[in-house]
């Protein structure tokens, strides 16, 4: 045994890692393929994990041998992987032409993944650091699959459900796929119903108006305040600077009862203006904090020179500070917009009249046994898509906002 | 010379005052004032119905309707104070008597002048006051015209004055007694700590793992970073409903998938079962199921937040540390545990406190997932439930005060920690 192995050029540790990596890589790749296939088509692919591990181990071993003998091009690994689908077909229960093609492709990928997993590891002479490298690769790949899976799955589920009728999803809850061949009016039925019958068209408008107004009503006092705190000397400046962050920590749930009471008595509760006031107050401290941090990084020389040349304070702010701060202000503005758009608690507590509902509040109206899940998920998609669009379009800015909005440093 | 300087400084301070005024006014009115008001309300017996000032209401009923001129009409006024606790101080009632309605007999204190029926209650009504008054009229032919509403012929109006119940100074500790003696209070308190503690812990562990994964240049790194922020950026209501649906026992993907794989035989309603029983070594272990799911939701939704900060911190770790470790022949794991983790100490402590506090206050997530049922009731849910579910504003405020006081302790801790961070 040992002799034949040394003939093949594999050390016992090399052999073991080839078997193990092959098994893991194959199980992972085929596993992902079968889950994706199960979720996206009506067919359930059952894979027997023990068989898969065996086939994978064989694949790992064969690849190690091929690599030792022929130097191992990746092309070979694809071919070798595809070949390993043959033993899998022997165990498979149902094989349609579609599954067969998919399986061959998936095994080809498994071959490539196995090759990648063993890349750069000398199979005849395995050292401690090689083993560690292999462990890191396993962890890294596992983590990657885990995170991509958990982040994507809920959103895929949401979008897919918005296109499926009750009968469709009950007949096969595992299938997240939907047929694009149906007429658009039928496919988009959930969206059409939600936007017309459930008035989401108006709610989009309300949410957008309130969020945009919040951005403006927050930015103006925050810019003025941040400028005063960074550029002007006045008694109590230090204390004020510190208390900004403290106020940002005040919880909404403590504010909600008194605000509900007072706004009810003032007749502000069930109005867009009331919501705008609350949203601005909640975002002013963090906006001020973020802008303060940014203004501190701006050089003062230019402003001071302009002051000496006779420009007024407001002239300085309008002509020097603001133009230099456009990226920061955009970042803060986006962050505030996101908070206002996503806000739930106050919209839920304050708004009673359907005419002024925001999307968050409108969603609650859909949460009813009578309303099919399709409509709720269509509503969820409608509320999510604009914010995701903004996020991707301005990712750099928004990430800056998120980071500065959280903690110092 | 000195005078010019000081007047310049005064001018600067004055300008600063005016520039800070708008921000300060809004924050004072909508954040600071409510916090104080919350303390005030927690010492008062106020129900949801007391928020509108009490009014004197009258329901008019015709108990005997006339058929022909000359018949008798009997009219009943059912009067009550709309509040059951708050008195109304001065009440003036007036009603228009239509032509053709001739009073047979007027109850005491009621008067008619120029066909206007009036009554004044100078001492007002107590809270919960009710009174029924009957009037008898005889009818003339003019009464039987279409202008007269035969069901409500007189349409009585009231003018009243009442003190705002939120402002009166009768204070009580009853609300706190109510909150603390509630059967589930200590369970709620425990859940309120367990949920943010584990939620913060898990989200940070996941954040470290995700940051470690993306802390190197490779193709698709930017896209992955954007993708990882999805759960944090998406509106809570959208993702919470999505979770509810895919965890659904009958049509949810998770249950169907697990049953297809044979992991469990019966579908599990993840969000409405308090415990999941597991047989382990002959004993039954009870896992708090709904609470676990809520904690996992939290970890999922907020790991991107930790991820961002930890990634930023990673990029600030000097390369020389790793280079010298390479020279010493340290492996990946050694480097991670001896260099990376210690470097994260500061940011992780801050993140933990921050996430703990924010989750401690968080209402939306639990409310939308379980509504506080099945052992997931936290203090914020209790605040909402007392104030709006049970219509007891006072008890809700008392729960909010307890929450705020606990939070103040964490805040003190947090600000001490970040001060040390700055000092370093």
Q: What is the CATH number of the domain that holds B226?
A: 1.10.3720.10
A393 and A291 in a common domain: yes
Smallest CA–CA separation between B315 and chain A, in Å? 13
Average pLDDT value for residue range B82-111: 83
Domain around B139: 54-161
pLDDT digits (tens, 9 = 90+) for A28-82: 998 888 888 877 777 777 777 888 888 999 898 888 888 877 777 778 888 888 8
CA dist., res. A214 & res. A336, Å (int)? 7
pLDDT digits (tens, 9 = 90+) for B31-55: 899 889 888 888 887 777 777 777 8
Residue A380's pLDDT is 93
Of A171-175, A258-262, B237-241, the one with minimum mean pLDDT is A171-175
Rounded to the nearest 5 percent, the helix, strand and coil shares of chain B are 55, 15, 30
Q: Select the more confidently predicted residue: B231 or B8.
A: B231
Q: Is the pLDDT of residue B278 over 80?
A: no
A228 and A146 in a common domain: no
Residue B169 lies in a domain: no
B286 and B196 in a common domain: yes
Average pLDDT value for residue range B152-158: 84
Q: What is the CATH number of the domain that holds B137?
A: 2.60.40.690
A227 and A119 in a common domain: no
Residue A110 lies in a domain: yes
Distance of CA A201 to the CA centre of its chain: 25
- Chain A residue at shortest CA distance from B242: A158
pLDDT digits (tens, 9 = 90+) for A209-263: 999 999 999 999 999 999 998 888 888 888 887 788 788 888 889 999 999 988 9
A83 and A21 in a common domain: yes
| A36 contacts: CB under 8 Å, gap ≥ 6 | none
The answer to whether B383 contacts A143, with C-beta atoms less than 8 Å apart, is: no
Indicate the number of domains in chain B: 2
Positive or negative, the CA dihedral A227, A230, A231, A234 is positive
A374 and A240 in a common domain: yes
pLDDT digits (tens, 9 = 90+) for A184-197: 888 888 898 888 88
A127 and A244 in a common domain: no
Backbone angles phi and psi of A187, in degrees to 5? -60, -45
A132 and A204 in a common domain: no
Distance of CA B149 to the CA centre of its chain: 45
CA dist., res. B114 & res. B94, Å (int)? 12
Name every chain A residue with its beta carbon within 8 A of the beta carbon of B300: 150
What is the CB neighbour count within 10 angstroms for residue A17?
Answer: 23
Residue B253 lies in a domain: yes
Q: Are B246 and B252 in contact (CB under 8 A)?
A: yes
Q: Is the pLDDT of residue A408 over 60?
A: no
Instruction: Measure CA of the first residue to CA of the last residue in chain B; give whole Å.
Output: 41
Q: Are B267 and B259 in contact (CB under 8 A)?
A: yes
Residue B421's pLDDT is 52
Residue A182 lies in a domain: no
Residue B197's pLDDT is 95
Q: Is the pLDDT of residue A368 over 50?
A: yes
The answer to whether A257 contacts B26, with C-beta atoms less than 8 Å apart, is: no
A386 and A279 in a common domain: yes
- Count CA within 13 A, CB hemisphere, residue B127: 10
Cα-Cα-Cα-Cα torsion B385, B388, B390, B391, nearest 10 degrees, comes to 150
- Chain A residue at shortest CA distance from B369: A367
Interface size, chain A vs chain B, as Cβ–Cβ contacts under 8 Å: 279
B153 and B101 in a common domain: yes
Residue A355 lies in a domain: yes
- Count CA within 13 A, CB hemisphere, residue B203: 35
pLDDT band for position B403 (cuts 50, 70, 90) = very high
| Residue that finishes a domain, picked among B342, B360, B376 | B376
Residue A23 lies in a domain: yes
Closest CA to B53 of A228, A265, A43: A265
Domain around A157: 2-161
B214 and B157 in a common domain: no
The answer to whether B209 contacts A147, with C-beta atoms less than 8 Å apart, is: yes
B145 and B191 in a common domain: no
Positive or negative, the CA dihedral B110, B112, B113, B118 is positive
pLDDT band for position A9 (cuts 50, 70, 90) = low
Residue B295 lies in a domain: yes
A308 and A242 in a common domain: yes
Q: Is the pLDDT of residue A409 over 50?
A: no
Q: Is the pLDDT of residue B106 over 70?
A: yes
Instruction: Measure CA of the first residue to CA of the last residue in chain A; give whole Å.
Output: 60
A219 and A144 in a common domain: no
Average pLDDT value for residue range A111-135: 83
Residue B412 lies in a domain: no
pLDDT cut 90: percent of chain B above it: 21
B225 and B137 in a common domain: no
| B183 contacts: CB under 8 Å, gap ≥ 6 | none
Q: What is the CATH number of the domain that holds A370?
A: 1.10.3720.10
Residue A115 lies in a domain: yes
CA dist., res. B418 & res. B49, Å (int)? 44
Residue A61 lies in a domain: yes
Residue A190 lies in a domain: no
Name every chain A residue with its beta carbon within 8 A of the beta carbon of B241: 363, 367, 376-377, 380
ipTM of the complex: 0.87
B150 and B229 in a common domain: no
Residue A223's pLDDT is 93
B133 and B204 in a common domain: no
Strand order in the sheet with B101-105: B56-64, B72-81, B130-139, B101-105
| Residue that finishes a domain, picked among A134, A161, A188 | A161
Q: Kindly list the distances between the CA atom of residue A84 and the CA atoms of A37, A89, A104, B255, B405, in Å, as whole numbers in the listed order.
A: 19, 9, 8, 32, 64
A344 and A276 in a common domain: yes
Residue B229 lies in a domain: yes
- Count CA within 13 A, CB hemisphere, residue A8: 18
Indicate the number of domains in chain A: 2
Name every chain B residue with its beta carbon within 8 A of the beta carbon of A402: 229, 232, 305, 308
B272 and B123 in a common domain: no
Residue A171 lies in a domain: no
Q: Is the pLDDT of residue B270 over 70?
A: yes
Residue B205 near chain A (CB below 8 Å)? no
B338 and B298 in a common domain: yes
pLDDT band for position B275 (cuts 50, 70, 90) = confident
Per DSSP, the three-state class of B130 is strand
Distance of CA B15 to the CA centre of its chain: 38
The answer to whether A250 contacts B308, with C-beta atoms less than 8 Å apart, is: no
Q: Select the more confidently predicted residue: A330 or B256.
A: A330
- Chain A residue at shortest CA distance from B356: A249
- Chain B residue at shortest CA distance from A373: B245
Provide the chain B residues 221-240 that lie in CB contact (below 8 A) with chain A. Answer: 224-239
A202 and A131 in a common domain: no
The answer to whether B411 contacts A221, with C-beta atoms less than 8 Å apart, is: no
Per DSSP, the three-state class of B95 is strand
Residue A8's pLDDT is 60
| Residue that finishes a domain, picked among A114, A141, A161 | A161
pLDDT digits (tens, 9 = 90+) for B283-338: 787 888 899 999 999 999 999 999 988 988 888 888 888 888 888 878 888 888 88
CA dist., res. B28 & res. A281, Å (int)? 9
Backbone angles phi and psi of B218, in degrees to 5? -155, 165
């Amino acid at each position: 045994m040992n002799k034949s192995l040394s003939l093949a050029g594999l050390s016992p540790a090399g052999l073991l890692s080839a078997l193990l990596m092959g098994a893991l890589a194959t199980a992972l790749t085929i596993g992902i393929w079968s889950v994706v296939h199960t979720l996206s088509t009506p067919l359930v692919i059952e894979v027997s994990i023990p068989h898969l591990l065996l086939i994978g181990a064989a694949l790992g071993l064969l690849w190690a041998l091929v690599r030792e003998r022929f130097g191992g091009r990746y092309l070979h690994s694809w071919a070798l992987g595809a070949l390993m689908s043959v033993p899998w077909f022997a165990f498979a229960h149902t094989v349609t032409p579609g599954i067969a093609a998919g399986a061959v492709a998936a095994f080809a990928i498994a071959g490539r993944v196995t090759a990648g997993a063993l890349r750069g590891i000398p199979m005849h002479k395995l050292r401690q650091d090689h083993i560690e490298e292999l462990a890191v690769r396993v962890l890294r790949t596992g983590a990657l699959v885990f995170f991509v899976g958990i982040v994507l799955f809920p959103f895929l589920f949401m979008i897919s459900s918005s296109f499926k009728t009750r009968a469709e999803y009950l007949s096969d809850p595992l299938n997240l796929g939907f047929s694009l061949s149906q007429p658009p009016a039928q496919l988009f039925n959930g969206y059409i119903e939600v936007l017309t019958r459930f008035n989401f068209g108006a709610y989009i408008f309300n949410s957008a108006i309130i969020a945009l107004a919040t951005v403006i009503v927050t930015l103006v006092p925050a810019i003025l305040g941040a400028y005063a705190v960074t550029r002007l000397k006045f008694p109590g400046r230090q204390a004020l600077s510190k208390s900004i962050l403290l106020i940002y920590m005040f919880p909404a749930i403590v504010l909600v009862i008194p605000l509900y009471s007072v706004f009810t008595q003032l007749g502000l509760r069930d109005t867009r203006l009331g919501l705008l006031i609350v949203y601005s107050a909640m975002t002013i401290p963090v906006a001020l904090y973020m802008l303060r941090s940014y203004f501190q990084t701006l050089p003062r020389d230019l402003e001071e020179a302009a002051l000496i040349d006779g420009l007024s304070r407001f002239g300085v702010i309008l002509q020097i500070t603001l133009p230099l701060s456009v990226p920061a202000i955009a970042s803060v503005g986006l962050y505030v917009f996101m908070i206002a758009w996503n806000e739930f608690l106050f919209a839920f507590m304050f708004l009673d009249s359907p005419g002024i509902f925001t999307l968050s509040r409108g969603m609650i109206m859909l949460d009813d046994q009578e309303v099919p899940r399709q409509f709720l998920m269509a509503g969820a998609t409608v509320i999510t898509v604009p914010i995701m669009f903004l996020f991707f379009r301005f990712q750099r800015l928004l990430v800056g906002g998120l980071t500065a909005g959280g903690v110092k440093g | 010379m000195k005078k010019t300087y000081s007047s310049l400084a005064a001018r600067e301070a004055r300008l600063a005052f005016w520039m800070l005024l708008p921000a300060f006014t809004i924050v004072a009115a909508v954040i600071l004032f409510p916090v104080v008001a919350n303390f005030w309300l927690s010492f008062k017996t106020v129900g949801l119905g007391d928020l509108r000032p009490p009014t004197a209401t009258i329901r008019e009923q015709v108990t005997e309707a006339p058929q022909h001129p000359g018949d008798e009409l009997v009219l009943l006024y059912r009067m009550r104070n709309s509040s059951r606790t708050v008195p109304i101080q001065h009440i003036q009632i007036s009603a228009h008597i239509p032509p053709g309605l001739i009073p047979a007999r007027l109850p005491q204190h009621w008067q008619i002048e120029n066909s206007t029926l009036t009554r004044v209650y100078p001492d007002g009504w107590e809270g919960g006051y009710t009174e029924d008054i009957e009037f008898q009229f005889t009818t003339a032919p003019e009464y039987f015209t279409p202008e007269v509403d035969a069901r409500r012929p007189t349409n009585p109006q009231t003018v009243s004055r009442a003190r705002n119940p939120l402002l009166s100074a009768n204070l009580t500790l009853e609300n706190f007694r109510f909150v603390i003696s509630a059967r589930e209070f200590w369970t709620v308190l425990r859940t309120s700590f367990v949920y943010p503690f584990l939620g913060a812990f898990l989200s940070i562990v996941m954040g470290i793992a995700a940051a470690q994964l993306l802390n190197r240049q490779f193709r698709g790194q930017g896209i992955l970073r954007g993708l990882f922020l999805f759960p944090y950026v998406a509106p809570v209501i959208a993702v919470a409903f999505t979770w509810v649906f895919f965890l659904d026992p009958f049509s949810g993907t998770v249950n169907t998938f697990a049953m297809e794989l044979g992991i469990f035989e019966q579908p599990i309603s993840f969000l409405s079962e308090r415990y999941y029983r597991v047989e382990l070594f002959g004993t039954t272990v009870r896992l708090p199921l709904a609470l676990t799911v809520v904690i996992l939701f939290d970890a999922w939704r907020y790991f991107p937040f930790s991820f961002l900060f930890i990634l930023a911190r990673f990029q600030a770790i000097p390369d020389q540390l790793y280079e010298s470790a390479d020279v010493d022949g340290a492996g990946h794991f050694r480097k991670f545990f001896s260099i990376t983790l210690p470097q994260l100490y500061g940011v992780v402590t801050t993140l933990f406190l921050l996430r703990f506090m924010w989750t401690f206050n968080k209402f939306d997530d639990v409310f939308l997932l379980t509504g506080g049922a099945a052992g997931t009731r936290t203090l914020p849910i209790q605040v909402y439930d007392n104030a709006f579910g049970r219509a007891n504003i006072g008890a809700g405020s008392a729960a909010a005060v307890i929450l705020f006081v606990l939070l103040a302790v964490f805040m003190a801790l947090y600000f001490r920690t970040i001060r040390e961070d700055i000092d370093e």
